[in-house]
Structure 1
Amino acid sequence: MKILHLLTSINTGGAEKFCVDICNTQADISEHKVYLCILDDISEEQLLLKMISRNVNVISLNKRGGYSLKIIYKIYKLLSEVKPNIIHLNGRALVYTSIPILLKRIPSIYTVHTMAHKEYNKYIRSYIKLLFNGFPAIFTPVSISQSVSETVKKTYGAHFETVVYNGSSQLTTSSKSEVVAQYINTLKKDNNTLVFLYIGRISKEKNTLLLVKAFNELLDNGRNVCLCIVGYDGTLKQSYLLECKNENKYSDKVKFVGRQENIADYLVCADAFCLTSNYEGLGIAALEAFSMGIPVLSTPSGGPSDIIIPGINGYISEQITVESYIKVLNHFIEKPLRDKDKIIKLYTEKYTMEVCALQYLELYETKL
């Protein structure tokens, strides 16, 4: 079987990282031929590009700008040359490739990575709904969690029930781990300081400002904690990042360290992972935290509620407010979750990329 995965870009993000991971894993655990087509330009500086296995056939169509007849032709030509048996779509690749896929009549899987009603504007959602319902043998939406599935049913149709939980690859520390550990130690007051970690985009959707405000209050009240924020503001003005930094009252205890490639080195130093999103499909970073035995403290933002077992691998706040999240933080401070083996066991059973990749391979077979 020839499997063609399609992405718009290879910039660092949850959907992009998922796509690279599943390509690598499917190429490793099966005899199928795996292709990854990136519509946009690619460059050697892109972190995810460096992570792609040599067993994956990488293609770039060098798209620049938005939708055009030229890119439609390029995609059609690609499908004619590769002749894939199945296509796996992520993000806006669905919109760009839909016409060539229809012309070629190739069955396609589309992974819905976030709440369906938040993914696109109403016009694109109407077009996607037409594709799913008008051509059910060609386009199949797959939700990454039960929470996402509920929004898919409401947005596209109650009969779209397929769910495959996201997976992540097991992380390992790098040669920089000792340097990171030394840096984290400079944030600690003493050996009893609890280290909290956030990894991801710094944006309104991720609600990073709530996190900063919560730690301001914890530190105001003398809690022995520190917070490391690993991530970046992808906008040109970076206004939200500046807002978060300006709100931070404890620059010696709450640190913004920017985008980092070696996130395992930070996770291994953490006592808990923080997730404060307004809405979240599932959260690759949360799964990566689980892979290192780190509990996740989350707002009730959707997908995380599906994978967190309170008191075992994390806690969930009652509301998406500073006050409610502070209650969860204080609860964890009083009763930290230290059983890393139990967290890793749950992750290994349900949320590894191998588990996820095998489920998709089985799904592909049913669509052929």
Structure 2
Amino acid sequence: MQKIRLLHCIETISSGGVERIRLTFAKSLDFNKYELKIICTKAVGPIKDQLERLGVEIIEVGPFKGPFEWGKYKKVLDVIRKYQPHIIHGAVFEGMSMATVGGLFGKVPIVILEETSFPSTRSKKALFLQRVYSIFADKVIGIAPSVVLFLKEKVKISSSKVVLINNGVDIPETCSDQEIFHIRKSLRIEKDDLVIGSVGRVHDSVKRFSDILQAIKLLDNPKLKFLLVGQGPDFDELKKFSNQLGIQDQFIPVGFQEKPDSYYQIMDVFCLPSAHEGFGLVAAEGMLQRLPVIATKVGGLQDIVIDGETGFLVPPFSPDQIAKKLKILIEDPELRKLMGEKAYERAMANYTADRYCQEVENLYLQLLKEKGLIS
């Protein structure tokens, strides 16, 4: 039997959640059965390198200046005509645009779109385009229940086309006590320090790591440390902000880490105060590390975290509420442990990479059978 040819379309490949999921999916594929190529606007960094080491070809078409930049679609169509994919799968708005136009004019048998965000600020024009795109799609994946609701109620996509596939993350590797000891020592984290952690691209208008800094300032506890794993355009500004608050000795930014598991294992509480979030992969990662999670009640985060059970949900843009919930967890180690265990159980049941990849493959096989492409 010939290989099933898959073509994924996304925006930038750098260090974000969408491309991390593509990498996770690629790792799960049986390349004796499947072939995978990825079209993107731009590709840089370690995720690109890992995908290419797996044998995934990455084709860059350049950034979009608008949804009707036909020169970009011509490049996509050139790839489709040479590759002749059985399935085209687009994620992120640019990816959905490329998959829809490419799938329609390239006569790709199966078109799948995936909404990877909770786009509360998306314009009416973009929502209209997404509704039009869905007409030509076989299925539209929502990566969290709140995203599925958004697709049905806000974008007005037919319920018969929308399918829920919760995002998933890899089960973490356990690091040795010696490794953890050396990292803590190198970061000057004392035995009696309590570490609030977060992971993500440092784009503060989205991730709001500055709200954690403000919460720590409000708590006025020098034994409280904020460990931030991630890089991004606001990295230096965030360090300056910690200086302005006078808590620079409590802020520990370590930049991007290709393998962040050991850093999660230093944390006592995980916090993700995003302004908006489609899913929040790192919250699920924190839960798999048995950490209670304080997160904002936005997008997929409100589906992942059960308020009062696996952590706490707070309104966005509310450092005072983050401080209030942190104080509860700081003062009650038994509650931290209990919430962490319940978080782990929930993540193992709902948010593992194996489950996500299997559900996506099951959808592929279902549609391939319905189209008569496999028996």
TM-score by length of 2: 0.84
Distance 2:245 2:49 in 1: 34
Aligned-partner SS, 1:162: strand
Cα deviation, 1:140-169, whole Å, max 9, x if unaligned, reads: 321111122222223311534421110011
8 Å CA contact 1:88, 1:110 repeated in 2:
yes
Cα deviation, 1:38-73, whole Å, max 9, x if unaligned, reads: 334545xx1112332754432324536646444322
8 Å CA contact 1:116, 1:152 repeated in 2:
no
Aligned-partner SS, 1:197: strand
Name the counterpart of 2:17: 14
8 Å CA contact 2:224, 2:250 repeated in 1:
yes
Distance 2:27 2:229 in 1: 25
| CA distance 1:187–1:253, change in 2 (3 Å) | farther
| CA distance 1:40–1:299, change in 2 (3 Å) | closer
Counting only pairs closer than 5 Å after superposition, residues 324-363 of structure 1 correspond to structure 2 as 324-336=321-333, 337-338=336-337, 342-363=342-363
Counting only pairs closer than 5 Å after superposition, residues 1-368 of structure 1 correspond to structure 2 as 1-25=4-28, 27-28=29-30, 32-42=33-43, 46-52=45-51, 54-63=53-62, 66=65, 68-91=69-92, 92-106=94-108, 107-118=110-121, 120-132=122-134, 134-135=135-136, 138-157=137-156, 159-160=158-159, 161-172=162-173, 179-184=182-187, 186-188=188-190, 191-202=191-202, 203-218=204-219, 220=220, 222=221, 224-234=223-233, 241=238, 244-317=241-314, 320-336=317-333, 337-338=336-337, 342-368=342-368
Between the two proteins, what is the percent identity of the paired residues? 22
| CA distance 1:243–1:139, change in 2 (3 Å) | farther
Distance 1:300 1:364 in 2: 32
Cα deviation, 1:172-201, whole Å, max 9, x if unaligned, reads: 3679755422234x133xx33211111112
Aligned-partner SS, 2:337: coil
Give me the CA root mean square deviation: 2.7
8 Å CA contact 1:248, 1:254 repeated in 2:
no
Aligned-partner SS, 2:274: coil
Quote the offset at 1:115 in angstroms. Answer: 1.1
Distance 1:97 1:349 in 2: 31
Quote the offset at 1:255 in angstroms. Answer: 2.2
| CA distance 1:105–1:366, change in 2 (3 Å) | farther
Cα deviation, 1:246-279, whole Å, max 9, x if unaligned, reads: 4432111122232232311210111111111122
| CA distance 1:316–1:87, change in 2 (3 Å) | same
Structure 1 counterpart of 2:281, one-letter code: I
8 Å CA contact 1:2, 1:33 repeated in 2:
yes
Larger CA deviation: 335-344 vs 196-205: 335-344
Structure 2 counterpart of 1:295, one-letter code: P
Cα deviation, 1:286-343, whole Å, max 9, x if unaligned, reads: 1222222222111212312212234543222366412211111111112232255554
Distance 1:282 1:206 in 2: 12
Quote the offset at 1:354 in angstroms. Answer: 0.9
Quote the offset at 1:76 in angstroms. Answer: 1.1
Distance 2:236 2:165 in 1: 36
Aligned-partner SS, 1:233: coil
Name the counterpart of 2:373: none
| CA distance 1:248–1:48, change in 2 (3 Å) | farther
Distance 2:85 2:244 in 1: 51
The unaligned stretches of length 5 or more in structure 2 are: 369-375
Aligned-partner SS, 2:198: strand
8 Å CA contact 2:43, 2:60 repeated in 1:
no
8 Å CA contact 2:90, 2:98 repeated in 1:
no
| CA distance 1:177–1:85, change in 2 (3 Å) | farther
Distance 1:155 1:320 in 2: 24
Larger CA deviation: 49-58 vs 150-159: 49-58
Larger CA deviation: 269-278 vs 101-110: 101-110
Structure 1 counterpart of 2:86, one-letter code: N
